């Protein structure tokens, strides 16, 4: 499948998650799944994803239906406090006061911090985040390896988290590591589910575990878009 076909399929998957409430989308499609919920942070991520791909009617509907300063359900921060840096909107970023003397333990936070530092013009520190993540790559599966939390998952057997790989790919684009972004996107494209979405978890043997969801699908689509454009461009407004 060509990259544009993969992107279109992914966007159609996301559109299919729309609930009966305008501007609200389910995290997963399966009504029996425990994650069949409306999560504020995912609505924000959908908003910036649809904007990026020019789906302004959907983006605007989400914007009008949601309070992005609401709690993000699973953490005591606003719904837009994590992924705001992907929309080139740094002020609400929850790691803004983080000291770069030591990088976060979680690889997704390293990627997001790298985006924030790049937005601030701290090029050397942003590059450090990208190089750090590249050094953590798993050569067998050609994706980002497991961080400390990932290794403890699945009763200690460990899980690879594809959304962290996608985030790393977006940072590679932001800091000019284009070939690394493109190789990341190519690998992620091979992992697209038949539904058009992407599943977050791979077990220690590299097999998918779970169902496609908003977060991983959105972040993967952003990574594919960066690879196609050969740069990290701001979402279209």
Query: CB neighbours (10 Å) of residue 160?
Result: 22
Alpha carbon distance 39, 134 (integer Å): 30
**E strand residue ranges, the chain:** 137-138, 143-144, 159-161, 198-203, 208-213
The pLDDT of residue 60 is above 60: yes
For all residues of the chain together, what is the average pLDDT? Answer: 94
Q: For the chain, give the percent of residues with pLDDT over 90.
A: 86
Tell me: the pLDDT tens digits for 129-187?
999 999 999 999 999 999 999 999 989 999 999 999 999 999 999 999 999 999 999 99
Band (pLDDT 50/70/90 cuts) for residue 100 is confident
What number is the average pLDDT over the span 202-209? 95
The pLDDT of residue 63 is above 70: yes
What number is the average pLDDT over the span 85-91? 91
The two three-digit tokens of residue 178, written as one number: 């284009």
Domain borders along the chain are 3-229
What number is the average pLDDT over the span 96-123? 94
Residue 201: what are its φ and ψ, rounded to 5°? -100, 140
Residues in the chain: 237
The pLDDT of residue 235 is above 70: no
The two three-digit tokens of residue 66, written as one number: 């949601």
Q: For the chain, give the percent of residues with pLDDT over 70.
A: 95
Tell me: the pLDDT tens digits for 27-43?
999 999 999 999 999 99
pLDDT on residue 128: 97
Band (pLDDT 50/70/90 cuts) for residue 92 is confident
């Amino acid at each position: 499948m060509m990259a544009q076909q993969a992107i279109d399929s992914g966007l159609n998957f996301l559109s299919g998650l729309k609930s009966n409430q305008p501007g609200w989308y389910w995290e997963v499609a399966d009504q029996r799944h425990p994650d069949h919920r409306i999560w504020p942070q995912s609505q924000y991520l959908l908003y910036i994803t649809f904007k990026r791909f020019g789906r302004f009617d959907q983006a605007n509907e989400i914007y009008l239906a949601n309070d992005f300063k609401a709690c993000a359900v699973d953490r005591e921060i606003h719904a837009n406090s994590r992924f705001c840096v992907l929309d080139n909107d740094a002020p609400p970023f929850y790691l803004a006061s983080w000291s770069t003397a030591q990088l976060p333990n979680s690889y997704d936070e390293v990627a997001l911090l790298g985006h924030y530092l790049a937005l601030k013009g701290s090029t050397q520190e942003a590059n450090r985040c990208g190089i750090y993540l590249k050094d953590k790559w798993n050569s067998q599966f050609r994706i980002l390896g497991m961080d400390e939390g990932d290794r403890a998952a699945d009763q200690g057997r460990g899980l690879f988290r594809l959304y962290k790989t996608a985030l790393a790919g977006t940072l590679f684009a932001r800091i000019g590591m284009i070939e690394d972004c493109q190789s990341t996107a190519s690998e992620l494209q091979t992992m697209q589910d038949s539904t058009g979405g992407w599943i977050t978890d791979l077990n220690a043997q590299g097999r998918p575990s779970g169902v496609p969801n908003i977060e991983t699908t959105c972040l993967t689509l952003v990574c594919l878009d960066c690879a196609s454009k050969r740069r990290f461009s701001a979402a279209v407004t």
